Amino acid sequence: MERDRPSLTHLRWAAIAPGTFVVALVAWPVAMVLVSGIGPGSLEVLAAASTWRIVAYTTAQALLSTALSLALALPVAYAVARLAIPLRRTILAVITVPFILPTVIVGLAFRELLPFPGTTAAIVVAHVFFNVGLVVRVVASLWEKVDPRYDQVGASLGLSPVATFRRVTLPLIRPAVLAATLLAFLFCFTSFGVILVLGDPALPTIEVEIYQRAIQRLDLSGAATLALLQLLVVVVAVAISSRQQEGLAVSQRLQHGESRQPVRGAVAIACTAFTYVLAVLVVVPLASLVSRSLRVGDSWGLQWYSLVAQPADDTSRSVPLLQSIELSLRYAAVATLVAVGLGLLACIGIQASRRRGVWVDALVTLPLGVSAVTVGLGLLLGSLRGPVDLRGWWLLVPLGQALVALPIVVRVVLPILRSFDPRMRDVAATLGASPVRAWMATEGAATAKAIGLAAALACAVSLGEFGATAFLVRLDTPTIPVQVVRLLGRPGEANIGQAAALSVILVAMTLIVVVAGERLRPRRGGGW
C-alpha cells in the first residue's frame, strides 16, 4: 500500500496540462473581459431588480429542463443498459444526435412545429430534446457495467423492480446520474441559440442578456458583471456536484462484458415501449428538417442540395459545400484528439488528487459555464491588447471546439473511474507495475468503452459547435454550422432551403460519428 502512494502523487500532476489549457482559453479571456468591462456601473447592475429576475428565470428554466430530461432519460437508460432490445445501437445513435445539432437550427425547427413558440414551455421542450440523449449515454455507460447479480440479490430478497432500483441500483450508478444532471443543468443554464429563437424577448436569460449588452448595446461593464454572476453559479454547481459524486460513489467491481436480460415483466416492457416512443419523438423535428430541405416551392426535389454543392453568387457565400465539410471534419478530428487526451489526463489527475480533485474538476468543467460571447470577446480583446495577435490562426478553431468537448469527456469517463475498486490498482502496484502500467491494467481497461464513447461525443460536438466557432473562424473558412447561420440570416426561399439541406448533411455526419463510436468499443473479455 505504501508503494501506491508515490504513484498517486506523480499521477496527480497529470491535471496540469488540461488545467493550463482551460486557463489559457477560458480564464484569460474572461479576465480580459472583466478587466476591460467592470467599473462603477457594475454596482448598478448588481443592485437592479431586473438583474436578479434574469438570474432567477435562467436558473428556474434550467432546473425544470434538467428535471424533465432526467425523468425521461432514466427509463431509456435502463432499457439500453440492461435489456436486450432490438435496434439498441440505432436507438442510442438517434437519441444522441439532437445533443450535437446547432442550437439555432433546432430552435427554428421547433418554432415551426410547436403551437406555442415564444414561451418558457417551448424552451423547456427544446432543452429536453437536446439533453435526454446525453443523460441516457452518460448514465447507461456506467449502468451496463454494474454487475447484474446485485439486481438478482434484490429480487431474491423480495424487492420489487422499483424498490431494487431505488435501494440497490441507484446508489451504484449515482455518480453517473449526478454527472449527467450537472451536464444537463449547465447546458440549459448557458443555453443561447434555443432561447434566442424560441424565447420571449421580455424574459431574457443571462446568456442572451450578455449578448445583447456586449454586442448590441456595447455595455461591456454590464456584460462583464453578468458573466461574473453566471460564472459564480456554475462554479458553485460544479463544486457541489463534484463533492457529491466523490462522497456518494460506491467502490465496486465493474464487469468488462455485457449482460442484458430478455424483455420480461411489466417494468421492462414499459421501459422498452417508452424507449421506442421517445426515439420516434426525437425523429419528428429531424424529419421536419428533411422535409424542408426537399420542398421547392409547391413541389419536391434536390434543388437545394445541388445549389449548396455548387453555390451561386446570389444565394450563398462563395465557399463550396465540400470545402465546408472538409474543414469541419479536419477541425473535429483535431478537437477530438485534444479533448480526449486532455480529458483523460484530467480524470487521472482528479482521481489522484482525491479531495483536492474537486477543484481540478471544477476547473475543467468551467467551459460549460462560460458564455461563448464572453470567451469570444475576451479572445478579441486579448489579441488587440495582448502581446500575440491570435486572429486568423487556424488552430484556434479546433482548440475552441476542444474546449467545449473537454468537460463532456471528463463527465463520461470520470464516473467509471470513481466507481472502480482502488484495491485492484494496489495489487498491480505491489506486483511491481509502474503507475502508468498499473492504471492501464485496471482503470484503463475498464474505461475503454467510456473513452470510445467520449471520443464519439467530442467529435460530434465539434462538428455541430457554433457558439465559439462563430467568433474564431475566418470568413473564407466557415464550418457547416457557420454556413447554415449565414444562410438563415439572408431572406429568400433559396437560402432557407440550402440551410435546411446543409443541416440534413450535418445530421447525417453526426449520426455516422455516433454510430462509429458505438461500434468501436471493447468486446467481451476486454479485447477490441
Taking only the tens place, the pLDDT of each residue in 456-499 is 888 888 887 776 777 677 767 788 887 777 777 777 788 788 88
- Please check the confidence at residue 334 and state whether its pLDDT lies above 60: yes
Q: What is the mean pLDDT of the chain?
A: 76
425, 4 in Cβ contact below 8 A? Answer: yes
Give the other-Cβ count within 10 Å of 213's Cβ.
23
Helix locations, 422-447, DSSP H: 423-430, 435-439, 445-446
**Where does the pLDDT of residue 285 fall: very low under 50, low under 70, confident under 90, or very high at 90 and above?**
confident
On the question of pLDDT at 381 being above 50, the answer is: yes
Average pLDDT of 351-374?
70
Q: What is the distance of C-alpha 435 from the center of its chain?
A: 31
Q: How far is CA 98 from the centre of its chain?
A: 11
Residue 111 has pLDDT above 70, yes or no: yes
Residue 219: strand, helix, or coil = coil
Cα 224 to Cα 206: distance, rounded to the nearest angstrom:
11
**CATH fold of the domain at 4-526:** MetI-like fold (1.10.3720)
Q: Domain limits of the chain?
A: 4-526
Q: How many Å apart are CA 79 and CA 496, to the nearest integer?
A: 38
pLDDT digit string (tens) for 395-437? Answer: 778 888 888 888 888 877 877 777 666 666 666 667 666 766 7
Distance, CA of 511 to CA of 513 (rounded, Å): 5
Q: What is the pLDDT of residue 494?
A: 81
Indicate the pLDDT class of residue 392, thresholds 50, 70 and 90: low
What is the pLDDT confidence band of residue 501, given thresholds at 50, 70 and 90? confident
Cell output for 190: 448557458
pLDDT of amino acid 66: 94
d(CA 214, CA 374): 8
Q: Report whether 305 contacts 366 (CB < 8 A).
A: no
Helices (H), 220-265: 220-248
**What is the C-alpha to C-alpha distance for residues 145 and 124, in angstroms, rounded to an integer?**
31
pLDDT band at 353 (very low <50, low <70, confident <90, very high): low
Residue 277 CA to residue 477 CA, distance in Å, equals: 40
| pTM reported for the whole predicted model | 0.70
- List the grid coordinates of 63: 432546473
For the chain, what is the radius of gyration of the CA atoms?
23
Mean pLDDT of 317-324: 66
- The pLDDT assigned to 435 comes to 66
Q: Label residue 246 by pLDDT band (50, 70, 90).
A: low
Angle at 228 between CA 227 and CA 232, to 5 degrees: 120
DSSP code, position 443: I
The total of other beta-carbon atoms located within 10 Å of residue 377's CB is 26
**CA torsion angle 384 387 390 392 (round to 10):** 70
Residue 251 has pLDDT above 70, yes or no: no
